[in-house]
Structure 1
Amino acid sequence: MVDSHHTPHFFEDLTLGMRETLDKTVDEADVAEFARLSGDDNPIHVDADYAATTRFGGRIVHGLFTASLFSTLLGTRLPGPGAIYLGQTLNFRAPVRIGDRIDVSVEVIELTPKGRRARLRCEARVGETVVLDGEATVMVPPRPATAHAA
């Protein structure tokens, strides 16, 4: 998935169109652990018999599990370490199922120097189907001042 030891991008490094991606195949343990950590044990996610009776015909992955992959990219790759989440819109478009490979991307679409804000388009796909999209706004640290030798 993601190596969390990435070099951060400072605000001055960002340009429109910069993009990062990751992919994650969701397994049973991911769903169980997300349910445990979040406390969301909705049977649509954890009970196969119940889920079979729903319009989905089976269990689906928590929508916020998929959304958390945006946070992974924003916090580890683009902009990376030091970025502070300010906001996120989410449009849930289709279900994700256990065993699906989710392809996630973030792309810089706006830079605001005042407050060092970046707005990024976020998209998650399973195959050709967009399952989740939205936009994130983050505050990005400035490049540190370098000390000059006297």
Structure 2
Amino acid sequence: MLDNMPRGTICIEDIEMGMTRHLRKVITDRDIEMFAEISTDRNPVHLDEEYAQDTIFAGRIAHGMLTAGLISAVIGEQLPGHGTVYMGQSLKFLAPVRPGDMVTAEVEVIAIDHAKRRVGLDCRCMVDGKKVLIGEATVLAPSRKFD
């Protein structure tokens, strides 16, 4: 299940402080298996329930970067959207995401440098209203001047 806001582009000329966009997605076993295949990260804590039961997580968890990828989706599809160039990202993982969890990924504009087309974004992912990931991103936003 995927629930998100409209996709497209918000040009630097239209970006405002405090602007937010989000998406919601249920993390499935298939998502975890596909991420393991693509990333080649086959840590058994993600793929083997029996193994994962004996870890601090007491069960399988999604890859942290799979969760972080939802932030990338919001940035690349919504805010600023198509044509955005990632410049940097900090991440702090606060809690595990498990198969079946509904993750809300949200970004909020916290800084704008119109001259350099740079936008600072506060980034967070939540499950049941609890933050599981926080961080900040710096991106180069698209501009109508370059259409």
- Normalising by the smaller structure, the TM-score range is over 0.9
Asked if residue 113 in structure 1 is aligned to residue 114 in structure 2, the reply is yes
Alignment of 1:1-150 (within 5 A): 1=2, 6-144=7-145
- Decide whether aligned partners of structure 1 residues 87 and 2 sit closer, same or farther in structure 2, where only a CA change above 3 A counts: farther
TM-score by length of structure 1 reads 0.92
Contact conserved, 1:125 with 1:132, CA < 8 A, in 2?
Answer: yes
CA RMSD of aligned residues (A): 1.7
Report deviation, 1:48. Answer: 0.9
Task: Determine if contact 1:4/1:76 at 8 Å carries over to the other structure.
Answer: no
1:98-118 CA distance string (max 9 Å, x none): 000001100000001232100
Gap regions ≥5 residues in structure 2: none
Aligned length: 146
Of Structure 1 and Structure 2, the greater strand share is in 2
Query: Is the CA contact (8 Å cut-off) linking 2:4 and 2:23 kept in structure 1?
Result: no
Q: Distance in 1 between matches of 2:49 and 2:8?
A: 41
TM norm structure 2: 0.94
Change (3 A) 1:133 1:3: closer
Shift >2 Å, 4+ stretches: 1-7
3-state SS in 2 of match to 1:9: coil
Structure 1 unmatched ranges of 5 or more: none
Identity of aligned residues (%): 42
